[in-house]
Every structure is written in C-alpha cells, then in structure tokens.
Structure 1
C-alpha cells in the first residue's frame, strides 16, 4: 500500500493526541512510500548497527531530527542492543520512483584539501570570496509559506532588484567582498564550490576550514554533462578525476567550460570540519545529501546501491542538501576528507534504492508531543 510521507506522518501526529498538534513536515508533499520490512532491506543482517546508531544519535542533537523521532532519540542513547533498537522501534518504507522519469541515483562527495595563502602571491592567485556586500537575498516565507524553501538573490540597480552577476560576469571583476584566502588552482576552487566545504592548507602550515555561505542565485549546471553532450568524453569518464584531466589537456578552454555553470558559491571561514545543512558535522559513509522537497532533513534512510566494485547497503542520515541533488530517490554520500575520499566520491555513480525509517505506530504518543 502506498502512502505519502506527509500523510503518513500526519496520521502519526494526529492519532491518540489529546490536543490538536501542529503538522510540521510541509516540505515533503510529493514522495510516495510503500510499507516494507527489515527482512526486505538488502544485506540488512550485515549492517554495522552500532555505527548506524552513533550516527543517528549525533543527528538527534538537531531540532529537525528530534521533531521526527523525539522519544526515540533518548531511547537510542540508553539502548544496549543497537539492532534490536532499530527493528523494534522503526518500520522501513520503500521510496517509490513511479512518478519519476529516471531511476534512483547515488553519487558521492567529500571535503577537499586545497593549497592556499591569506595574501595574494604566486601561485596563490585565485580568490575564495566571502558573500559580496551588494548581494541581496529576499525571503518570501512570511508572506508566501508555499515559497518557504526558495530565496531570491540579486542586486539593487536604481530602485529595482535585478539578477546578480553570473560566473562569467564575475570572472576578473573586482568584487565588493572580503577574501577568505587565495588558492593555487581554479579547477580545485571550482570543485570546492561543488562540494560546498573543504580545508585549505596555508603556506604557513596552518589548515583552515571553509564552508558554504551564499550563492549568486543561478541554478547549478553540470560541466560533466556539458562535456558528454559536446562529445568530449563518455558518461563513464565524466568523473571529477576525468574532468580535471580534460582541463589539464585543454587549459585554454577551462574558463569557457567553467562558465557553463553560471552558479557561483561564496564561502566563510569555519571553526570545524564539513557541516551539512542540518547543522552537524558530517559522518563519513553515514551522512547523505538529499532533496528536501521530497525527504525531510534529519530523517533516517536505508540505501542500497549496486556499484561496479561493491554493493553499498547501510543506514544513513539525511544531513545535507546540494544544488545537484534533485529527486526523491537521489542521494549524495559523504566520504570524508582528503584525496582517498575524493577518489571514492569522484567515481561513485550507481543506481539507487532508498527506504525511509519511520517510528512504528506505537510511537504515536511521542510523535504527538513534537508540536
């Protein structure tokens, strides 16, 4: 039997409540799910339940996870049997792709390490910009609740708000913005934007963390897809490694290639490693980025992907989002920090099956308290 995620969680909130609860998951109206079981989850018996539980409890530090799982967060902290905790307290629901034009897809991302300097000097000539002072962000949520997940970005021109500059228009332009640092590679800087956060080893030996702060307001466009469509490489070659190799062989075409993606990311210095949209430090191999129009941040998922090297089957937590992550059965798995993580993330592109783990019906009273 199919359900809609919003409808199902609404039922859990409403049944047995003495007071009318507030329905909080308005951002997931499009996702159809079908009740499943742990026996139907691929390779469930080989899961590392303790690591999965640790990841869940880390996510429980956030308000969004607490809204979804409230009492189960404290129950999980006191359990002595991680596997039994999952099987006794949750029901898996298969996320359906019936209405999707494409099958599910799993990709990977990581926290890159760049070389840089706090001052501009050779070879550190590419600025990592903070949010420009003339960038305006308009939030319509109060007046139009249906637009709560959308922001209008632009700049003021006279008495009008007009689109902000594209990547091409910003190339070589003196921005009214602070520079977090300078790095030695425009390609590595571009992929830092794609990943959303990273580390920079400065020329004085210090390592700083940088993370997403804002956008120029344009949709993300894949340069890998452009190269495929242009006949420059095959689908299998269009990994981060393959794109970097293409750029090394075609240095005069790099600027034109990067400009195909009009979107540009602005950064800020951070005091801790990669943190997702949920607000917690990401856990390698357990944190995923999802499309929050379909899946709520903070939710626990089970993914199954058939890769060329090995199958991936595990519990993960929806702790991040990304401009390229679109659709209900779509996830980006975080691999961690460094070159090894980058190699693993760069080559992952596999068909995906996805389940969401929701509290059993007998948890309705605890869900009811999350008003």
Structure 2
C-alpha cells in the first residue's frame, strides 16, 4: 500500500517470532449463530507472529471501554491485562496473546470454508455550507420531525418530490453539499467529516454520525448502472464520468436506491479527529484495525486475525470487530475501515477498490 496521510492504514513492521509453546488439547468447536468456529494451532494461522500488534492495541483498548460479549470469558481480567500491556514490547504482546487465546477458524455453520469477502469503507471529508446557494444545494438531513424508530418512512425519491416529506424535514437540514453523488457516498458510508463554511465566513470541521435510515432496503446505484450497461466498471470514478455525460439522469440513478440516511452532527475535537466515527459497538473506529462484521457470526469486540491477498491489500493482521453494516452478512464477511480523507486520498482509493477473498480466525480466551 502507498504511504498514507493520517487516517489511512499503514503496514506495520514485522514483529519478533513468537516463542510460546503451542501444546495441549484443543477445546471443542463453537457454534455461534451463522458460523462455526473450529480451534486450530497457532502454527496454522497464516502470518501469525509477523504483525506488529502495537497498532491493534489502541483498537483493543477502545473495545475494552465497552467489552460486552465480544471480550469472551474473564473479560474484565483480559481487558486489565490489555491495558497493562499497552506499552509492552512486540514480543511480550505476541506471547501474551498466544498464552491467553485460542485461534478459531471461522466458517459457515455447516463447516464449509469457502473464501469469504473483504470490502472497505472509510469516512469521507467533504466541503459543505450551512446555507444553500447556487452551488451548494444538496441537503443532508437530521431526523425528520415525525420520526419514529423502526418505521418505514418516505423513500429517497419521495423525500425529493413529495411535499409531505419535505414538510417533515423543514428545519432539519444540517448542511448542504455541492454534488448529489458526494451525498450518496456519504450516506452509503454512514458517516463523514464536513469542512463547513459558516454564514459569518469562518470554517470549522464537524462529524456527521449515523442517526437512522428510512427503513427501505439498500440497493446499489452502481449495480443499477451496471445492469443497464450504462457503465462497464463498478466504481465511483465511472459513476462520476457517467454523471458528467448525462446530468439529466443523475436523479434517476440516485433514486434507484430508496434508502436514505439521517445524520446527527458531532463536534470534532483534536482527540476525536485521531479516530474514526463510533461503530456499532459504540467505540471509535481505528484505521486499519477495525472491521465491520455480521454480529450473528462474530460478537462485537472480538479480536480477529484477518488474512487477505489481492490486488488492493496483502495483509495478515490483528483487527477488532467493532462495527456492522447492512451488506455485511455471513460468517466470513468483513468491511475494513481504511480511515478518512477526500476522493484522491488513500483512505478512499483503497476502500473503493477493495473487494477480494478473505479468511478469518476469532481469538477467544482459553
């Protein structure tokens, strides 16, 4: 991966070889929702011992703020030891993990072990305005006035075209963007950072966090264009090129996805800016070390060994299950948080291109 600015993952230096003996009887498999966890020896975990765990440690400390089920048995003791080891050497961290945890190969519940799927997501950084003008005229909404959690509300097209929906959203615009595709990407990612030009001329950066969606099933606008033969490559650069050629059809493309997302604005202090948005576990995401999973297969907070090889990433590393998403379904399925940035930054280019095979091992306390 190319060198990246703050907010994009970097490749850790190799760690010392782990020297703790891996002996004794393995525990029985674990059936967990949609998945089967089969215990293996550490020697069977590809790349184990080669990852410098210090980057993962910050993400692990975050999970320990809200351990829940994912910390496994003895979670309070485990998290206490994680905190103590935050300034330990790479050798000490690796040896401790091997002593305290068993690696479980994650497969489908029937034991099939097909290669899973790894995709990426990130936090867009976009320019915005508090008030609309001739350029900035695409609204980003907070929760509607009549919002009730769990309801199916107006579709994306109905929000843009029906007066009843627009009345319910009066006074609920947080900010305005210049490009409807930017707004669509922001909603698909679920959160983002806005550099807002205030009416008094000042600029400040805020975070838009996911508040809710309108209850409709997500449909991919990129897939909609591919199915029509409008584009040949399934990435946003192709979508933008198509939109420049056919601006009169952009609304139809956007409306092909009936789901829309409502946001809440959060202050972005110096400390908050060092981490991503809060994931479904309720803790801030760490670039390159947080993944979104299907919680019916992998509980939030679980440390997971991830192995993937492909044109975008070649990595074997420790990550933490800290988030989920509407398209993240199945036992061997993960979305890799790459960080934040604009549409030319590595956080975006890696996330946009990432779609490759995946293997996962859950690390569960002995």
Q: Which residue of 1 aligns with 2:6?
A: none
Q: Which residue of 2 aligns with 1:105?
A: 117
Q: CA offset at residue 172 of structure 1?
A: 3.7
1:311 aligns with 2:314: yes
Q: Which residue of 1 aligns with 2:107?
A: 96
- For 2:67 and 2:60, locate their aligned partners in 1 and report how far apart those are by CA, in whole Å: 13
1:297 aligns with 2:300: yes
- For 1:167 and 1:348, locate their aligned partners in 2 and report how far apart those are by CA, in whole Å: 27
Within-5 A mapping of 1:29-178: 29-64=33-68, 67-68=71-72, 69-79=75-85, 80=88, 81-97=92-108, 99=110, 103-137=115-149, 152-154=150-152, 164-173=153-162, 174-177=166-169, 178=172
| Structure 2 CA distance for partners of 1:41 and 1:67, relative to 1, 3 Å | closer
- For 1:247 and 1:104, locate their aligned partners in 2 and report how far apart those are by CA, in whole Å: 32
Q: Which residue of 1 aligns with 2:14?
A: none
- For 1:316 and 1:5, locate their aligned partners in 2 and report how far apart those are by CA, in whole Å: 21
TM-score where L is the length of structure 2: 0.80
- For 2:66 and 2:293, locate their aligned partners in 1 and report how far apart those are by CA, in whole Å: 17
- List per-residue Cα deviations over 1:221-254 (Å, max 9, x = no partner): 12222223223334xx212333333323322222
Query: Contact 2:118 / 2:358 at 8 angstroms: preserved in 1?
Result: yes
1:185 aligns with 2:152: no
Q: CA offset at residue 5 of structure 1?
A: 4.0
- List per-residue Cα deviations over 1:241-270 (Å, max 9, x = no partner): 333333233222221112121111000101
- For 1:224 and 1:248, locate their aligned partners in 2 and report how far apart those are by CA, in whole Å: 15
Gaps of 5+ in 2: 1-26, 269-275
Q: Which residue of 1 aligns with 2:15?
A: none
Query: Contact 2:107 / 2:114 at 8 angstroms: preserved in 1?
Result: no
| Structure 2 CA distance for partners of 1:175 and 1:90, relative to 1, 3 Å | farther
1:228 aligns with 2:226: yes
- For 2:94 and 2:113, locate their aligned partners in 1 and report how far apart those are by CA, in whole Å: 35
1:354 aligns with 2:360: yes
Within-5 A mapping of 1:196-275: 196-203=190-197, 204-234=202-232, 237-272=233-268, 273-275=276-278
Query: Contact 1:105 / 1:329 at 8 angstroms: preserved in 2?
Result: yes
What count of residue pairs does the alignment treat as equivalent?
313
Gaps of 5+ in 1: 7-28, 138-151, 155-163, 361-371
Pick aligned residue for 1:284 from 271, 282, 287: 287
1:4 aligns with 2:30: yes
Q: CA offset at residue 271 of structure 1?
A: 2.4
Q: CA offset at residue 52 of structure 1?
A: 2.0
Which contiguous aligned blocks of 4+ residues in structure 1 show a shift greater than 6 angstroms?
Answer: none
- For 1:294 and 1:98, locate their aligned partners in 2 and report how far apart those are by CA, in whole Å: 9
Query: Contact 1:124 / 1:182 at 8 angstroms: preserved in 2?
Result: yes
| Structure 2 CA distance for partners of 1:44 and 1:242, relative to 1, 3 Å | farther
TM-score where L is the length of structure 1: 0.79
- For 1:218 and 1:356, locate their aligned partners in 2 and report how far apart those are by CA, in whole Å: 32
